[in-house]
Amino acid sequence: MPGYKLYYFNVRGRGELSRLILHCAGVPFEDFRFEGKDWPAIKLNMPFGQVPVLEIDGNKMLAQSHTVARYLARQHGLAGQNDWEQSQADMYVDCIYDMHGTMRTPTWETDPVKQKELFDKVNEETIQPHLEKVEQHIIKNGSGHLVGQGLTWADIAYYAFFTTPIMTRLGGEVFTKAPHLKKLIELVGSNPNIKKYVETRPVTSG
């Protein structure tokens, strides 16, 4: 098995999906977390001056968050069973990427009243319409998962997004029209390896 070292800030952010995939698969790796003050020195050695970066066997480096996560999912049986399932999983993860973008403005808003207004607007105009469609996809798929008959990195990506401090601000009612997705997220969270990691990971702001 290759030796993995994952470089990322000491937050969940764009590195958390890869961490969750590795923990879910039971794969040992060095979770190299660092603070902002250490970034300038580390940045010099990153392929594109960005993180997350996955170092493999001490001599290969892979950049870009979804590229890293997709690679790990494929290497450890979480990408889908065939080309079609892998493409479907990619599609769902890209949806999560889009939703991350919609949350950027409300996340950085400092006025509490304005922030709530922005969160509510994104929830109503973007999150809820998306969840209604995903709910129907899960029902149609019939396995309780987004893709195929078992767990994929797509399921883990939805779990990662909807359990962030940002999304939990919206409360449990966010899943009122998506009970199957809520059940799926709870299922991912009950995975023994993921559960153990979540219970012991560093407490961070996001």
**Cβ proximity of 18 and 48 under 8 Å:** no
The helices-and-strands tally (H runs, E runs) of the chain is 11, 4
Question: Of 12, 14, 19, 70, which one is the catalytic site residue?
Answer: 14
Q: What is the largest CA-CA distance in the chain?
A: 50
Active site residue 8: yes
Catalytic-residue membership of 108:
yes
Give CA–CA dist 109/115, Å, rounded: 5
Structure tokens at 105: 């403005």
Element (H, E) at 32: strand 30-34
**Residue 14: active-site member:** yes
Copy the structure tokens of residue 124: 């109503």
Cα 79 to Cα 16, 29, 165, 184, 202: the distances in Å are 17, 19, 26, 17, 27
Nearest one of 1, 17, 22 to 64, comparing CA atoms: 17
* N-term to C-term CA, the chain: 31
Task: Give the whole-angstrom CA distance, residue 158 versus residue 147.
Answer: 12
Q: Which two tokens stand for residue 48?
A: 């594109």
8, 92, 158, 159: which one is catalytic? 8
Active site members: 8, 14, 108
